[in-house]
Amino acid sequence: MALSVDIQKQLGDFRLEVRFEAGDETLALLGASGCGKSVTLKCIAGILTPDEGHIELDGVTLYDSAARIDLPPQRRRVGYLFQQYALFPNMTVRQNIAAAVRDKSRRQTEVAEKLRQFQLEAVADQKPGQLSGGQQQRCALARILASEPKAILLDEPFSALDSYLEYQLELELADTLGGFPGTVLWVSHDRGEVFRNCRRVCVMDRGRSQPVTTLEELFRSPGTEAAARLSGCKNYADARPTGDAVSLPDWGLTLSCGRPVPEGVRRIGIRAHHVRPAAPDGENCFACTVERVVEDVFSTIVLLRPEGAAPEAPLLRMELDKDVWQAVPDKARLTVSVPPEAILLLGS
């Protein structure tokens, strides 16, 4: 593996325990704000020092607490794209890029190449404060690549941009990273951004990393409630395994799962688009009352209370295309169904 990370760090009441490996790929670190994603990147880059553990990049030990190895940032060959880009404010675009070139004999040629590659020639002599957000990001990426890194760390790369620019810059960034021969760590809390740009993901929850998995597996079988929430699942309930089914006391339901349910399952998740209006005699069908209807931009969100649910039970969210909801004859009480294979089985 190109990058191996196994570290622990205590920051006040917050404890970071991260372990993962990444090859020559773009690996996502996906987690909610405050879960330790940025702290992990800073430990890899050498900005923060872990309390213990080991970090290795392409066979070179960057950090090893047992061997007392802690390479300074400038020797780690790691490029870090900060959320605010961290450009030198008193230097021009040209000077910012030149500052990263290792080989002085190639500095002028390398800078000219990066200016062309990132379409920065017209603003080469301007300072960061004179650039748009997109130009600042391209300048920061050009500077990173000019340093010939073996790994690139992207910390919420679009957090400083408005949504109008985000999509185009995301495509540009994907094109740039497509030709990078090393490891890229892409930190995000946006599942759509991760799904479009990565194939594997490491979910982080309250300072702890979960095993690396594929994006397909994360959405199909997230395994934990933290991972399910990050994948966009909206409905959760306490569960008791009963063979190939689960009993859901809060909703007064027993639903078939279509496969044996492990004894360790304590919660289930149901995606809002898997809840559908149905005839009353089908599998996993149950009657609900409509508590609230919310019109979203392209869909209708319907909040349901299963008949027999406890008063304090969470409402069940159903999301339908607008025309599908308009075709529902009784909008006060209806029967819905959930496919057995769509029920997410979640451990503690």
DSSP string, 48-79: S--SEEEEEETTEEEEETTTTEE--GGGS-EE
Separation of alpha carbons 346 and 222, rounded Å: 8
Helices 133-146, 163-178: crossing angle, 10 deg rounding = 20
Is the CB of residue 312 less than 8 Å from the CB of residue 237? no
- Tell me: pLDDT of 34 over 60: yes
- Those residues whose C-beta lies under 8 Å from the C-beta of residue 266, and which sit 6 or more positions away, are 238, 239, 346, 347, 348
Separation of alpha carbons 224 and 241, rounded Å: 16
| pLDDT attached to residue 161 | 63
| pLDDT attached to residue 173 | 85
With bands split at pLDDT 50, 70 and 90, how would you rate the model's confidence at 285? Answer: very high
Q: What is the mean pLDDT of residues 305-333?
A: 96
- Report all structural domains of the chain as residue ranges with CATH numbers, in order of start: 3-230 (3.40.50.300), 235-346 (2.40.50.100)
Global pTM? 0.88
Q: How far are the Cα atoms of 100, 213, 318 from residue 103, in angstroms, in the given order?
A: 9, 39, 59
Is the CB of residue 289 less than 8 Å from the CB of residue 266? no
| pLDDT attached to residue 137 | 85
Neighbour tally for 346: CB within 10 Å: 23
With bands split at pLDDT 50, 70 and 90, how would you rate the model's confidence at 162? Answer: low
| pLDDT attached to residue 177 | 86
**Interval 201-233: pLDDT, tens:** 999 999 999 999 999 999 999 999 999 999 999
With bands split at pLDDT 50, 70 and 90, how would you rate the model's confidence at 160? Answer: low
Q: What is the mean pLDDT of residues 276-304?
A: 96
Q: In this structure, what is the dihedral angle of CA atoms 229, 231, 233, 237, given to the nearest 10 degrees? A: -50
- Tell me: pLDDT of 102 over 90: no
Residue 205 tokens, joined: 């929850």
Separation of alpha carbons 124 and 96, rounded Å: 10
With bands split at pLDDT 50, 70 and 90, how would you rate the model's confidence at 163? Answer: low
| pLDDT attached to residue 202 | 97
Task: Give me the chain's average pLDDT, please.
Answer: 93
Q: What is the mean pLDDT of residues 107-133?
A: 93
With bands split at pLDDT 50, 70 and 90, how would you rate the model's confidence at 348? Answer: low
Q: Calculate what percentage of the chain has a pLDDT beyond 90.
A: 83
With bands split at pLDDT 50, 70 and 90, how would you rate the model's confidence at 21? Answer: very high
* Residue in the structure block whose two tokens are 């769509």: 342
- Describe the chain by its helix, strand, coil percentages, rounded to 5: 30, 35, 40
Q: What is the mean pLDDT of residues 79-94?
A: 89
| pLDDT attached to residue 155 | 92
Separation of alpha carbons 327 and 322, rounded Å: 9
Is the CB of residue 328 less than 8 Å from the CB of residue 240? no
Separation of alpha carbons 160 and 327, rounded Å: 42
- Tell me: pLDDT of 199 over 60: yes
| pLDDT attached to residue 175 | 85
| pLDDT attached to residue 272 | 98
